[in-house]
Structure 1
């Protein structure tokens, strides 16, 4: 099935399930958007999706960027809640203190749409994300297949305890458990999900385990860094590297064979769905606790199509 057809089908299913009455945006004039870190392409694409779609509907968006600092985000959200917002779209800056903004908004009677990361113990009124576990499973299954179902693996995690880190770990571990010839020999957590961290962690782990043939890095930035680490490490064997996100910067590199697989997320689609959900909640409607969208396994063989279709 072509990418455009898959995306349209997924969007149609989401629209049918979530918008049976076709509510308008009349009840919502202003939305607060708290983002964990706009330096990351993934979060910036969600922001673009939210702001562009809200503008189409005549809704003002006030966006704040925590730069990955939980304390900063709590302060920013406290300020947002004084600005007469009708709904709150929230991407936690980390696991620590993630529940505080949700509780503050709910105490103020403002509906909360959590995106990408949920707040443990204080979830939003709905949670929107990619099906991280399933997509990570598909990526790890693919690179394990490339390695003939055997070999030593490294895992470079995202920020510890965040929803995507937990779910992507779960998905990849399922693929490892299904392949008795694969051994997870080392793993390490990052803080920023960044390429610099992927390079640094990758070099350190490869130095300790020079015979690995598989690396799963839980974000494309980490994967690009890990692939670079493989190149500079001087290992002679083929090392298969999987990432996650389908970042606009990473997809062209994947298309050229710079690494081996990723899961492309519908980032701007997530932003649009967040706005629609905020409108629904503000109108008093109840939404599912979770709204998980599919990610698409992307390899050098089909990456060019994703590059062309990526918003």
Structure 2
């Protein structure tokens, strides 16, 4: 298939929730390289891409790196031999993240990044939550729940990835307004998993048994942290917070397993990515960043997200 030259994407971000216009006349085959389908968030994005692309008659080829950057590079190399017209790319980690984008561009294939961008080699458009603003809102809420004072543990996501960096910044900015909050322990995870959240939190609680706050930068990490808090059976109340709005986590939030999260528009990300691919293949402009708001979610407002995830 003839590759049209890519247009430079506009710098302005959009928060529109209406799918982009466009037809699938020129986008026949779409490659999708996902970081890790064991994560609920990525699996929801994948399901959305599949169902929406099917509606438009677009063939989709999906590969799962299972959290390994080297595997993902190899998978993308293989995708590029299968006559794909566009690549939806969720980097498996910060290491080697620029390689798939560079390889695709060398063949004139547009790249749509979701959730994570490659530092120094961004895709033609980047679709994600505004994690800085959303984490700032979440952390302000967290700190208010403990009266602006207390010791805190942070279970970070994978070091150097876009959501880890942005969520850390948003929370750090919020902390500037709460001098009574002290971070006494923090550690990075590798694949943002519930098992990691449990093990990391359990270890940190042994060294800091007087904490009142734990923040897992993803819901899986938060669910693991909540389990570790329960097992520790410490005398004080310890509030646990997450981020993502994973389907299982929302039910756990409703049931009081942890205290709050920030729900991303996960299913819409997939639709927006497909529409962006259609536009880019047709040679149309797409914003360089499409950052969407996430919603602070507590037990009080969680039910609509359980019934109909955005």
TM-score, length basis structure 2 = 0.93
Aligned 1:164-203 pairs, distance under 5 A = 164-203=163-202
More displaced, 40-49 or 231-240? 231-240
User: Which whole-Å CA distance do the structure 2 matches of 1:178 and 1:80 have between them?
Assistant: 47
5 Å-filtered alignment, 1:48-197, equals 48-197=47-196
2:154 & 2:144 partners in 1: Cα distance? 16
Question: 2:9: which partner in 1?
Answer: none
The CA distance in 2 between the partners of 1:309 and 1:243, in whole Å, is 20
Shift of 1:12: 8.8
Structure 2 counterpart SS, 1:33? strand
SS where residue 95 of structure 1 aligns?
A: coil
Residue of structure 2 in register with 1:13 after alignment: 16
CA distance in structure 2 between the aligned counterparts of 1:29 and 1:290, rounded to whole angstroms: 24
Q: 1:274: how far off? A: 0.3
Alignment partners' CA distance in 2, 1:287 and 1:106: 16
Structure 1 residues 205, 12: CA separation in 2 closer, same or farther (over 3 Å shift)? closer
The CA distance in 1 between the partners of 2:238 and 2:74, in whole Å, is: 44
Count of aligned positions: 297
Map Cα deviations across residues 54-100 of structure 1 (whole Å, 9 max, x no partner): 00000000000000111111011001001111111000000000000
Tell me the CA shift for residue 23 of structure 1: 2.3
Q: Is 1:300 aligned with 2:303?
A: no
Distance 1:237 1:129, change over 3 A: same
3-state DSSP of counterpart to 2:16: helix
Deviation at 1:185, TM superposition (A): 1.1
When structure 1 is superposed on structure 2, of 231-240 and 76-85 the one drifting more is: 231-240
**Residues 266-277 of structure 1 correspond to what in structure 2 (within 5 A)?**
266-277=265-276
Question: What CA deviation, in whole Å up to 9, does each residue of 1:258-299 have, x standing for no partner?
Answer: 101001111110000000000010011121111001111111
Name structure 1 gaps, 5 residues minimum: 1-10
Partner Cα distance (2:273, 2:120) in 1: 21
**TM-score (ref. length: structure 1):** 0.93
CA shift digits 1:124-162 (9 cap, x unpaired) = 000000111111112111111110111011111000000
RMSD of aligned Cα (Å): 1.3
**Moved >6 Å (runs of 4+):** none
Q: Give the structure 1 partner of residue 203 of structure 2.
A: 204
Residue 119 of structure 1: SS of its match in structure 2?
coil
Q: CA deviation at 1:14?
A: 3.8
- Tell me the secondary structure at the aligned position of residue 85 of structure 1: coil
The structure whose residues are more often helix, as a share, is 1
Report the alpha carbon displacement of residue 174 of structure 1 after superposing the two structures with TM: 1.2
Secondary structure of 2:247's match?
coil
- Tell me: higher relative CO, structure 1 or 2? Use CA pairs within 8 A at least 6 residues apart: 2
Q: Does structure 1 conserve the Cα–Cα contact (< 8 Å) formed by 2:155 and 2:200?
A: yes
**1:255 correspondence with 2:250:** no
1:238 aligns with 2:241: no
The answer as to whether partners of 2:219 and 2:244 remain within 8 angstroms in 1 is: yes
SS at match of 2:71: helix
SS at match of 2:287: coil
SS at match of 2:184: strand
